[in-house]
Amino acid sequence: MSKPSIPQGTRDFGPEVVRKRQYIFNTIRSVFELYGFQPLETPAMENLETLMGKYGEEGDKLIFRILNNGLDNTGKHQQAREDFEKVLEGKNVKGITERALKYDLTIPFARYVAMNQGQLTFPFKRYQIQPVWRADRPQRGRYREFYQCDADVVGSKSLLNELELVNIYEEVFVKLGIADYELRINNRKILAALAELCGGADKMIDITIAIDKLDKIGIDKVKEELAQRGLNEEQITTIEKYLNITGNNREKLELIKTLIGHLETGSKGIEELEYVINNNQIQNQRSPIIIDFTLARGLNYYTGIIFEAKAPPAVKMGSIGGGGRYDDLTGLFGVPNMPGVGISFGVDRIYDVLEELKLFPEGVYTGTQVLFFNLGPAESITAFSAMQSLRNQGVRCELYHEQAKMDKQFKYAEKKNIGFVVIIGSQELLNNTAVVKNLKTGVQESMALANLSNKLFI
């Protein structure tokens, strides 16, 4: 038999890692709840047609499709063969595959809103923390199965939502100890105005894809790519002028006004940015919101303000969260005029940041608080009973599974990072006492069994 393995790009999470991940999830969840968002879960799989065509041509290729069951049914062989021929031509055929693993949380959410619009109270604020799957080639920080943490508000055009989402970023990252993250902000309307200035709205996608890479490949390569994508020299010069805007937020806003302020979309976009910057309610903010006109974000359904949270410069991790506003989330599912705005946290990267900066709190590692030693048949029963009364008080305990030398039981406690051991041996049994030892300090004390429940095992 060959060694067992797991599919490419997937991971097992051992106890310690799960604890750390849950710490992140719980922190994010508690903030979402604090801001009035409600939980939503959708199935791991969706109908293939729900997902196809929503993520662009590349995206479609990365959707994991699920093979239909029953293809080996002899009566249907002929049909299955014909259908498979079509699959070989790159088509999707219901006879072969009609379901797929979900690719993100946004489209299933849109599908849910479209299906349940009659029952929902708008604006609908939901958060969703679930795994998604992509048939991408795995590499550093990229997996085929990973979790997304999204919060969206749909059914509201108010920029108050943007202000709230900015505060959510701040609150989550401060709670996690990543106070020196950077929140960058831009507006798709400004990018649209830039495209307009460069001769056509149809250029917008080309422009955003190219300038989104600026910090990765540099201005020269971006210009190259723009040329490759069919922009002429004059247009590229305009874009370069746009990308060269620097200064503090106020200076940037003044400069952008001279460039695209005369265009309707442009001035609207600038206005929205000013609103968010000027009304930001974050108290004692350590790192201010940075207007970054080079921020583009790949997803094309964004139409307004866009966000990107960057890890502290010290860790070179890049983006740890992102989001933005969209005008029409559910139009593809037959429900028009449903605007919304949402953000997302990149849990795997946040994990790496916390690990690298050693920001996980000490308490994350401890599961069991107290280990009861097993020093004999009668001793273990007394220990069991004492343990149960501690458990009834909410103290996390376990009893060593079999009689063994103390040496071994100590090592077990140490490995499991258990802070306290309770020793009940033959002497303690006679006296109705127990020895409690703090493994971190090495201090131990003897006490009456009855007093054990008064002890604080912290």
Farthest CA pair distance, the chain:
94
Q: What's the token pair of residue 448?
A: 């009456």
Q: How many CB atoms lie within 10 A of CB 124?
A: 21
106 is in an annotated binding site: yes
Nearer to RNA, 149 or 260 (CB): 149
Closer to RNA at the Cβ: 28 or 423?
A: 423
Instruction: Give least dist CB 213 to RNA, A.
Output: 6
Q: Provide the sign of the torsion angle of the four alpha carbons 197, 199, 204, 205, taken in this order.
A: negative
- Least separation, in Å, of the C-beta of 76 and RNA? 27
Known binder of ligand: residue 60? no
Q: Closest distance between RNA and the C-beta of residue 140, in Å?
A: 3
104 is in an annotated binding site: yes
Q: Is residue 311 within 8 Å of 318, Cβ to Cβ?
A: yes
CB of 274 to RNA, least distance (A): 26
281 vs 446 by CB, closer to RNA: 446
Nearer to RNA, 123 or 298 (CB): 298
Omega within 30 of 0 (cis) for the link into 15: no
Give the contacts of 177 (CB within 8 A, at least 6 positions apart): 354, 357, 359
Query: Are the beta carbons of 208 and 226 closer than 8 angstroms?
Result: no
134 marked among binding-site residues:
yes
Measured distance CA(227)–CA(222) in Å, rounded = 9
Q: Report CA-CA distances (Å) from 139 to 142, 143, 146, 312, 445.
A: 5, 7, 13, 22, 52
> Quick one: which of 97, 155, 167, 162 has its CA closest to 126?
155
- What's the closest the beta carbon of residue 224 comes to RNA, in angstroms? 11
Cβ closest to RNA, residue 270 vs residue 344? 344
- Flag whether 142 is marked binding: no
Is 130 marked as binding a ligand? Answer: no
- In whole angstroms, how close is the CB of 283 to RNA at the nearest point? 27
126 is in an annotated binding site: no
Give the residues lining the site for RNA (CB under 7 A).
5, 7-9, 56, 58-59, 104, 134, 136-144, 146, 148, 209, 212-213, 216-217, 297-299, 319, 321-322, 344, 346, 348-349, 405-408, 410-411, 413-415, 423, 425-428, 435, 437, 439-440, 442, 444
Of 432 and 444, which CB lies nearer to RNA in the complex structure?
444
**Nearer residue to RNA within complex by CB, 255 or 406:** 406
303 is annotated as contributing to ligand binding: no
In whole angstroms, the minimum distance from the beta carbon of 182 to RNA comes to: 15
> Minimum Å distance from CB 323 to RNA?
9
Report, in Å, the least distance between residue 371 CB and RNA.
Answer: 11
Distance CA 181, CA 162 (A): 18
Q: What are phi and psi of 411, to 5 degrees?
A: -65, -35
Query: Which residues touch 95 (CB under 8 Å, ≥6 apart)?
Result: 68, 79, 80, 83
Tell me how far, at minimum, the Cβ of 138 lies from RNA, in Å: 5
Please enumerate in sequence order all residues whose Cβ is within 8 A of that of 276, keeping only pairs 6 or more positions apart, or say none: 159, 162, 163, 166, 185, 289, 305
Cβ proximity to RNA: between 5 and 121 the closer is 5
Nearer to RNA, 284 or 405 (CB): 405
Q: Which is nearer to RNA, 345 or 360 (CB)?
A: 345
301 is in an annotated binding site: yes
Which residues are documented as binding site for L-histidine? 104-106, 134, 148, 152, 297, 301-302
Which residues are documented as binding site? 104-106, 134, 148, 152, 297, 301-302
